[in-house]
Amino acid sequence: MENKEFTYKGIVLNGFLALFLVLALFALTIWFFVLADSSSEFAILGGILLVFLGVCMNGFVKLEPNEAKVLVFFGLYSGTFSQTGFYWVNPLMSKKSVSLRARNLNPEPIKVNDKAGNPVLIGMVLVWKLENTYKALFEIDSQSLAPSSISTSRTGAARSLSLAFENFVRVQSDAALRQVAGCYAYDNPDTADELTLRSNAEEINERLVKTLNERLSMAGIHVTEARINYLAYAPEIAAVMLRRQQADAIIAAREKIVDGAVSMVKMALDKLKAEGVVNLDEERKAAMVSNLLVVLCGDEPAQPVVNSGSLY
């Protein structure tokens, strides 16, 4: 898309020099009014100068770092002025203040369906800033997005524009988060190679940033960072999914216990045979293996039984 933003190249005066000239003309205006008693022409000149000074006062611009003024001359975009300091520009131009500073957005978690169709609650935090003032003011309807309760003063207008951009980012971030979350499952313990929302945070965050920038580029807004900061199953299925996770954990623990028990039984039999402690036939080996496995794999503490009889 063509970049229509450009830097203002019109007449720019140092603000303090312009202020000195205005004060000098104001003093001259007062002198003309003093001389008005001797001639009506001085009164007319004083009135003209007073109107001229009133118009000139609208030309003063004060900008802090990472602030800009979008200048519009009777509906015609005349450029973006972003020089830090105190200046004077054409007073007939309307000046829209915009902030180029980075801002955070931390919306409330939303309910979406993941790739498997499970409802999940997911939230994110993102850092964004304005990069193209022309797109921000003229490519989207920022005026209608602004809250109507904000005052119409210069400070209120700047605040209104800021809230309009924030509302636009909020709506588009909601749509982008739904789009990205619907492409991945919450969790998939059966397939370790598949990307999931729970286990692949960096990859998901990178795709989220890319999707957000694609959606917000029309408004001249750039997202520098976006991260998922909240992820949970929706309340209606949270209990069921918790039981499933508990079952998976129990199965995994049982598998590890069985592996360890078999290894220990094998080690015990080999050591008994190697040291010649006792000679067991196959039937008694099977009984011993069964008893050891019951003891090692059981949930309850074993109750030992002392057999004082002969093995033969």
What CATH number has the domain bearing residue 229? Answer: 3.30.479.30
pTM: 0.70
Looking at the fold, whether 145 and 53 belong to one and the same domain comes out as: no
pLDDT winner (highest mean) among 143-147, 157-161, 289-293: 157-161
Q: Is 263 helix (H, G, I), strand (E, B) or coil?
A: helix
| CB distance 160 to 137 below 8 Å | no
| Higher per-residue pLDDT: 257 or 104 | 104
Given a cut of 90, is residue 176 above it in pLDDT? yes
Structure tokens at 156: 């209120």
Q: Which of 191, 206, 198, 224 is nearest to 121 (CA)?
A: 198
* Distance (Å, whole) CA 1 – CA 135: 10
Residue 86 confidence (pLDDT) above 70: yes
For residue 151, what pLDDT is reported?
A: 47
- The predicted-structure confidence for 216-266, as pLDDT tens digits, reads as follows 999 999 999 999 988 888 877 666 666 666 666 666 777 777 777 777 777
Residues 80 and 169 reside in one and the same domain: no
All residues at 6 or more sequence positions from 170 whose CB lies less than 8 Å from its CB, including other chains:
105, 107
HSE of 183 in the Cβ direction (CA atoms, 13 Å)?
12
For residue range 187-227, list pLDDT tens digits in order. Answer: 775 655 678 888 777 888 999 999 999 999 999 999 999 99
Q: Are residues 192 and 79 in the same domain?
A: no
Residue 13 has pLDDT above 90, yes or no: yes
pLDDT exceeds cutoff 90 at 172: yes
* Domain residue limits at 152: 103-233
Sign of CA dihedral 254, 256, 259, 265: negative
Paired sense of beta strands 119-130 and 221-233, if any: antiparallel
Closest CA to 231 of 268, 267, 204, 261: 204
Mean pLDDT, residues 275-296 taken together: 68
Q: Is residue 186 domain-shared with residue 224, that is, in the same domain?
A: yes
CA atoms of 95 and 279, how far apart (whole Å): 100
Stated as kind and residue range, the H or E segment containing 195 is none
- Please report, rounded to a whole number, the percentage of residues in the chain having pLDDT higher than 90: 41
CA distance 194 to 200: 9
pLDDT digits (tens, 9 = 90+) for 180-189: 988 888 877 5
Single out the residue in 96, 120, 138 at which a domain terminates. Answer: 96
Residues 161 and 205 in one domain: yes
